[in-house]
Amino acid sequence: MTTIKDIAKHADVSTATVSRVLNNDKHLSVSVETKKKILDICDEFGYVPLKKRRPQIEEGAKTKEIGIIMYCSQEYEWEDVYFLSIRKGIENECRNKNVLVKRIIHLGDQSSKEINDLDGVIVVGIPNPEEEKMLDETLGDNIVYVNNLVENDQVDNIIIDYEKATNKALDHLLELGHTRIGYIGGREHRGRSGPEMANPRKEAFEAKMNSHQLLNNNYIYLADEFLIKDGYDCIQHAIKNKEMPSAFFVASDAMAIGAIRALDEQGLHVPDDISIVSFNDISMAEYTKPALSTIKIYTEEMGKHAVKLLLDRFDGRRIPVKVVTPSKLIVRESTKKIR
């Protein structure tokens, strides 16, 4: 759960300043811009002061207590807010439904002891098979998986149609006349140290480009993760290898931000020299220079829907549900018709 310390770190102010702004301290001497920055960060990350949470927790009869298991680190959440946005949706809906988020566990570092006192959990990301088995044995049906299609077909899933979403991005580039299209992405693993698994965006990219007889493996660049530095490093490799397409499909907005920086350092400009379409539509995407053309994934809604599915389970539903999240192409400034 986001804390005052997190807000202070992101706003580059002290925790005392954050606390006084949130308490509307009239004797606090800070600029209007600083106050707005703090409040905007609180809103973006779904921070609610404890005194506003307590009435919801204390009202009513039996408050359900759930856990959120995040298969990413807290540092990863702050750099690529895709996962943070899902968690924000979960926490906001829990407040609305009088559900207490008792425990947030990062990197899947959970044990049966940590979760057996919970009514249910929402798992964001991909556990390894052993972790998945432990969750199933401890909580039964009271689990909702987000962004992961697990082996157990008796639990609820909220997934993304990566093939359809990727095709929207590639169709956009093809319509602009691009035929030399590259891919930049990270590697997926099951759990913290599990085996590498197929990445659905990369698979969809390869299938689509193959169908047009345009696939060039020399234009595919992979990094360990999906963060800004990974996108930057991929472009560095592309420049070193002298294998540069006219456009890239980039698997995350964070990677795209790093890629644009690396291209700019080499005197290559987006979109005049190279077009980029990315994935997620995080809050920063429309404020980058150029603003990112990207595939919007409704991450906050995914989190809200996960809570609703879990509450349905508490009410006795036993039929498993799989929800496929829609996506939408957002065209901004980073793509352009090829010259």
211 located within any domain: yes
Give the model's pLDDT for residue 183: 99
Write the pLDDT tens digit of every residue in 191-206.
666 678 889 999 999 9
Nearest to 335 by CA among 287, 282, 294: 294
57 and 153 assigned to the same domain: yes
CA–CA separation, 244 and 239 (whole Å): 7
The span from the CA of 246 to the CA of 271, in Å, is 9
Instruction: Please answer whether residues 170 and 203 qualify as being in contact, where contact means their C-beta atoms are separated by less than 8 angstroms.
Output: no
What would the DSSP string read from start to end of 165-186?
A: HHHHHHHHHHHTT--SEEEEE-
Per-residue model confidence (pLDDT) at position 30: 81
**Who contacts 243 (Cβ-Cβ below 8 Å, separation ≥6)?**
182, 218, 219
C-alpha 257/C-alpha 82 separation (Å) is 14
Residue 65 lies inside a defined structural domain of this protein: yes
CATH of the domain at 64: 3.40.50.2300
Give the per-residue pLDDT at 110. 59
Tell me: do 175 and 289 sit in the same domain: yes
| Same domain (yes/no): 148, 28 | no
Which structural domain, as residue segments, surrounds residue 20?
Answer: 1-47
Domain count within the chain: 3
Question: pLDDT, tens digit, for every residue of 179-188?
Answer: 999 999 999 8
Are both 32 and 58 inside the same structural domain?
no
- What DSSP string describes 79-130? HSTHHHHHHHHHHHHHHHTTEEEEEEEETT---HHHHTTSSEEEEES---HH
Q: Can you give the pLDDT of all 339 residues of the chain as single tens digits?
A: 667 777 888 888 887 788 778 877 767 778 878 888 888 888 777 776 655 544 444 444 468 899 999 988 888 888 888 999 999 999 999 999 999 998 888 765 656 677 888 999 999 988 888 888 888 888 888 999 998 777 778 889 999 999 999 999 999 999 999 999 999 999 988 766 667 888 999 999 999 999 999 999 999 999 999 999 999 999 999 999 888 999 999 999 999 999 999 999 999 999 999 999 999 999 899 999 999 999 999 999 999 999 999 999 999 999 999 999 999 999 999 999 997
Q: Is 168 a member of any domain?
A: yes
Same domain, 177 and 252: yes
Do 248 and 167 share a domain, yes or no? yes
Instruction: Examine residue 337 and state whether it is found in any structural domain, yes or no.
Output: no
Note the pLDDT of residue 207.
98
- 40 and 62 share one domain: no
Are 142 and 40 in the same domain?
A: no
Same domain flag for 281 and 176:
yes
Neighbours of 337 (CB within 10 A): 10
Both structure tokens of 259: 């890629």
C-beta neighbour count of 257 within 10 angstroms: 24
Spatial CB neighbours of 242, under 8 Å, sequence gap ≥ 6? none
Do 166 and 277 lie in one domain? The reply is yes
Same domain, 180 and 193: yes
The Cα–Cα gap between 43 and 101 comes to: 18
pLDDT at 165: 98
Q: What is the CATH number of the domain that holds 38?
A: 1.10.260.40
Does one domain contain both 303 and 156?
A: yes
- In-domain check, residue 77: yes
Question: Is residue 333 domain-resident?
Answer: no
